Amino acid sequence: MTATGLLEPFTPLSEALPRLEAAVSPVTGIVTGCVTSTHLPDESSLSTCACELASSRRTLGTDSVTFGSGAHPDARRARAAAIGEALERYSGAYLPVDRLQRATATQLGEGAVDPSRFALFHSSQYCTPGFPFVPFTAGTPTTFVEGTALADGSPAFLPAELVYLSRPDLRAAPIGYATSSGLACGPSFAEATLGALFELIERDAVMLAWKCRLTLPLLDWSGDNTLATIDRTYFAATGGRFSVIDASRFLEIPVAISVLRGHPGSGASLAVGAAAAAHVGDAWLKAVSESFGVYRWLRHQARTGAGAPDDPSNVESFDDHMLFYASPERAAAATFFDGSADRRPTREIGPVEGSAPRTQIDSLVSKLARLDIAAYVVDVTSPDVRELGLTVTRVIAPELCALDVSHRARFLGGERLTTAAYELGLRATPLELVDVNPLPHPFP
């Protein structure tokens, strides 16, 4: 991003939405269709949109996630979110082979991000029979791609396995796996990067709260007329019982985690959503909207007879994570999560500094740097998405706690998982491996 990028404002929805809509066509579109759904009485009345992706086999040579979804009081924003999510996951599977190089970090020299900074797996996990990943060290051959350090714009080589949703080299033993966390689509490079960075910050907070079994204060929005009105209009009528955890303390950035407790017999006893944003009200709305979206999905799964694995070690997908807590018995294991008697008014949580995407990025990067956390960005836009005037970026912050999928391959490495809660006074002692929550997280 150039110096002039500091002054570039957020793109108005009236300009961004037509670019997103250009991806939608039942015949030639990356997205073949978008559907706005209705709701049952116990479901949020937010405008909800779901998108279906065309097969990416011919265009990308690999499969990608086949859907995207969005919910918002404004139907246009719900549609934009759904299409954007679909495109970010599609583009994230695109492998630009001409940009990839197989090497070791030692061979790449100072340009490679130090492998020891990546919070991947605990040393004991590699000793587990059948564990599919190998340690990532300076001497580990793997595929790298060049990105950019957000702090100073310097080039940096990052492991491509953690950047792209497609494996860059199926012949080599993997060092880890990528999820959609830290992927974002936007009308500009800066806006996509900001969205991706917020998502990593949100997921870090969720993982710390869950794995450390923290009981954090709950948000009180009764004094916020805007949020109180949104609550009454879209959520209160459902009769659903939900609370919103204040997870802002980890990085002094607004983070909200919504925990929705479903009606008895609903088949959706626990639904969780989360968000980080420049303003706590935006984080609150995104988190609550996501939890109600998970609730709706779980209700549908209950009607189709879908079930969760009995053994936590068999949780292998995000669907499994959500379904695992669909029953009241399993949901009871998460009572610590939203069980705090402490309340924090939303008005006490300050916004992220800056009114433009780049200035907000700088503010976030500065907060991370105080804790010796770095952030890097890679442009992962596929050619067809770029033609639409859109950008997809992947942001990687190696030291942050990442959202894991396979419960047998949880990300238990890195210092932050063991020390962050202790240093903030949220635990009496640093976290030991034996103290990590043994149950899968409930996050989608």
Q: Which pLDDT value is given to residue 113?
A: 99
Q: Which residues on neighbouring strands pair with residue 155, listed in sequence order?
A: 148
The two tokens of residue 441 are 């997280």
The two tokens of residue 146 are 């060049």
What is the CA angle 434-320-124, rounded to 5?
25
| Residue 20, H or E segment | helix 13-21
The two tokens of residue 187 are 């009308």
Q: Is the separation of the CB atoms in 136 and 123 below 8 Å?
A: no
Summary mean pLDDT of the chain: 95
The two tokens of residue 442 are 């409930």
Q: Which pLDDT value is given to residue 172?
A: 85
- Phi-psi map region of 305: left, alpha, beta (phi>0 left; psi -120 to 50 alpha): left
Q: How far is CA 367 from the centre of its chain?
A: 19
Task: State the residue for tokens 């204060």.
Answer: 217
| Contacts of 81 by beta carbon, 8 Å cutoff, 6+ apart | 49, 68, 69, 70, 71, 72
Tally of helices (H runs) and strands (E runs) in the chain: 12, 14
**Rg value, the chain, Cα:** 21
What is the CA angle 282-283-287, rounded to 5?
120
229: pLDDT confidence band, cut at 50, 70 and 90?
very high
The DSSP annotation for 106-125 comes to HHHGGGBPPGGG-----GGG
Which tens digits make up the pLDDT trace of 172-214?
899 999 999 999 999 999 999 999 999 999 999 999 999 999 9
Q: Which pLDDT value is given to residue 264?
A: 83
Per-residue pLDDT for 3 more than 50?
no
* Main-chain dihedrals φ then ψ at residue 345, nearest 5 degrees: -60, 140
Q: Which pLDDT value is given to residue 5?
A: 54
Per-residue pLDDT for 409 more than 60?
yes
- The percent of the chain in helix, strand and coil, each rounded to the nearest 5, is 40, 20, 45
| Contacts of 363 by beta carbon, 8 Å cutoff, 6+ apart | 352, 353, 354
Q: Report helix, strand or coil for 284.
A: helix
Q: Where are the beta strands (DSSP E) in 30-120?
A: 31-37, 47-53, 67-72, 100-103
Integer Cα distance of 74 and 85 in angstroms: 17
Neighbours of 222 (CB within 10 A): 12
Neighbours of 44 (CB within 10 A): 24
Mean pLDDT over 292-319 rounds to: 92
Q: Which residues on neighbouring strands pair with residue 307, listed in sequence order?
A: none
The two tokens of residue 152 are 């100073």
Among 5-19, 320-334, 400-414, the range scoring the smallest mean pLDDT is 5-19
- pTM for the complete prediction? 0.96
| Residue 158, H or E segment | strand 155-159
User: What domains can you pick out in the chain, each with its CATH number?
Assistant: 14-93 (3.30.160), 102-201+370-435 (no CATH), 208-348 (3.30.160.660)
